[in-house]
Amino acid sequence: MKLLVFAWILGVCWAQYNPNTKPGTTSIVHLFEWRWADIAEECERFLAPNGFGGVQISPPQESIRLTNPWMPWWQRYQTISYNLCSRSGTEKELRDMVTRCNNVGVRIYVDAVINHMCGASGGAGTHSSCGTYFNADTKDFPSVPYSAWDFNDGKCKSPSGDIENYHDIYQVRDCRLVSLLDLALEKDYVRGRIAEYMNSLIDIGVAGFRVDGCKHMWPGDLRVVFDKLKNLNTKWFAENTRPFIFQEVIDLGGEPITASEYFGLGRVTEFKNSAKLGTVFRKWDNEKMAYLKNWGEGWSLMSSDKAVVFIDNHDNQRGHGPGGASVLTFWDSRLYKMATGFMLAHPYGVTRVMSSFQWPRHIVNGKDENDWVGPPSYSDGSTKPVPINPDSTCGDGWVCEHRWRQIKNMVIFRNVVNGENFSYWWDNGSNQVAFGRGNKGFIVFNNDDWNMDVILLTGLPAGTYCDVISGQKEGGRCTGLQITVQGDGRARFQISNTAEDPFIAIHINAKL
Ligand code: AAO
């Protein structure tokens, strides 16, 4: 009995840190700006068969529609109501997606925009994704409903009403983030409406939430909201399963608000993972891969059981938010694949893979003038479907990094080695490194400017393995390199510094 109570307390206290993915699957993919209909298809035809655990979707609530600039991606971060029609589709399509993804064991996480409504200059009218009337001047959002009473403006002490100084924690929480009308989360009424919104999604079957802009909300207010959340829908989840919570808090150090203030509520996005791995793989600031031997907490990242990690996100891949120029994206595909491979092979954190769309990048004085451009769309602004090419890549401007062989295969690698220790580290003191995961997988990188030819202890059982970077195991043979592990667990790795992908990964499910 005592044990049961203990287990129950543990379950209640720790549950929101668990992504609730199907056993044997570990990673999340952010299908940024995808339509619900396409995500449903992707779950069935690609994500489930390839061991993806879940999908972070773009904000599903009603948002503003802007014409200047033309339908920017970021209009979805300007809430108008909690109605569920958006650029990605109708409520019916959303429900169909959640059902179909859950039915094949792929979870859905909602990007929840609860800190604010639209920008103060959003005007009045029905230019919203469900066509609902609102008035940003009078702060009237009748279809929630919110009125002027429900906003923080009285509390904010900055001259402009906007956040002007990230070193003033009161401004950061009580003033407007880039002029977005800041909801008063201290009010029971507001907390209740937000919890109702999130609960409506839990009823539909989502597994959790990426909570937008948590730095701008007081942890105590968030606590009350999260405590009001229901357990997950028992159609797909065990009884008493708590929603997975991961909070967007940008903490690169140097500000008074830290990620650790939010650890009690759920996981937190670890932006240092993105900024620092970018710096290491680019070899900036005299960084070397050899230093990654103690990657994770050893680099003053938050504790692994609190972290959600990624190489880039929808903001920092285009210069919004933090991280700056070091962040690797699909535009730097060779280094990007390596860095993503490293992240997925390493035991640190819950991993999220980015899946982007292309835009006409136009960098002037370090700033991308086209950082606002929305997803591939028709002239009326509706988002285009994601067409799949015969070689399994995507067309029409959808990048689909998650479908790149190297990345897809490393998502599988992570599932295969899940729970195994970080082991058999080797480095050359420079940018050639290797490590294993228990006796189940091994990965080797050459990011130096010279060739690599080494014999390393892999810990794997003797046999012939298919490298899952240059190819994979298909029909009993390797489509890329073959690696032979000897009886003593050693294998020879030769990696040219000019190889298309200068890294090799093998695991026990890719053994011939
Ligand atoms: C748009 C327009 C605005 C307009 C507004 C309202 O661009 O000009 O005023 O509409 O009409 C997205 C877009 C915004 C867009 C917004 C609404 O990115 O451009 O505004 O939708 O449509 C902060 C927040 C963080 C936020 C990030 C972008 O803390 O929460 O800014 N991310 C989320 C979403 C994001 C979304 C929103 C929030 C809003 O992911 O897509 O915005 O819903 C420091 C702070 C960070 C802060 C950055 C802002 O970062 O630490 O907390 O992020 O500044 O730049 C170094 C430092 C690093 C620092 C960084 C940048 O790297 O180490 O700490 O420099 O200075």
Mapped onto helix, strand or coil, the DSSP state of residue 493 is: strand
Find out whether 467 and 506 touch, Cβ atoms under 8 Å: yes
Q: How far does residue 252's CA lie from ligand 1's centre (Å)?
A: 14
- What phi, psi does 387 have (nearest 5°)? -80, 145
Strand pairing report for 477-478 and 482-485: unpaired
Atom of ligand 1 nearest to the CA of 116: 43
Question: How many Cβ atoms are within 10 Å of 351's Cβ, its own excluded?
Answer: 26
| Distance (Å, whole) CA 3 – CA 491 | 46
Atom of ligand 1 nearest to the CA of 214: 30
| Distance (Å, whole) CA 79 – CA 72 | 14
The one catalytic residue among 150, 212, 251, 261: 212
248 a catalytic residue: yes
| Distance (Å, whole) CA 160 – CA 157 | 9
Phi-psi region of 507 (alpha: psi -120 to 50; beta: other; left: phi over 0): beta
Q: How far does residue 325's CA lie from ligand 1's centre (Å)?
A: 16
| Per-residue pLDDT tens digits of the chain, which is 512 residues long | 444 444 444 444 458 999 999 999 999 999 999 999 999 999 999 999 999 999 999 999 999 999 999 999 999 999 999 999 999 999 999 999 999 999 999 999 999 999 999 999 999 999 999 999 999 999 999 999 999 999 999 999 999 999 999 999 999 999 999 999 999 999 999 999 999 999 999 999 999 999 999 999 999 999 999 999 999 999 999 999 999 999 999 999 999 999 999 999 999 999 999 999 999 999 999 999 999 999 999 999 999 999 999 999 999 999 887 767 899 999 999 999 999 999 999 999 999 999 999 999 999 988 899 999 999 999 999 999 999 999 999 999 999 999 999 999 999 999 999 999 999 999 999 999 999 999 999 999 999 999 999 999 999 999 999 999 999 999 999 999 999 999 999 999 999 999 999 999 999 999 99
Residues forming a β-bridge with 495: 452
The one catalytic residue among 150, 248, 448, 501: 248
Q: How far does residue 321's CA lie from ligand 1's centre (Å)?
A: 5
| Distance (Å, whole) CA 473 – CA 460 | 17
Please give the single-letter amino acid code of residue 233: N
| Distance (Å, whole) CA 268 – CA 261 | 10
CA 473 to chain centre: 28
Find out whether 61 and 197 touch, Cβ atoms under 8 Å: yes
Residue whose Cα lies nearest atom 60 of ligand 1: it is 322
Q: Which of 61, 116, 160, 178 gets mutated to test ligand 1 (max ligand atoms within 8 A of its CB)? A: 178
Give the pLDDT confidence score for residue 179 in this predicted structure: 98
Give the pLDDT confidence score for residue 320 in this predicted structure: 87
Residues with CB under 6 A from ligand 1: 74-75, 77-78, 113, 119, 121, 166, 177-180, 212-213, 215, 248, 250, 252, 255, 315, 320-324
Which residue reads 């159609």 in tokens?
235
Q: For the CA atoms of the chain, what is the radius of gyration?
A: 23
| Distance (Å, whole) CA 212 – CA 182 | 13
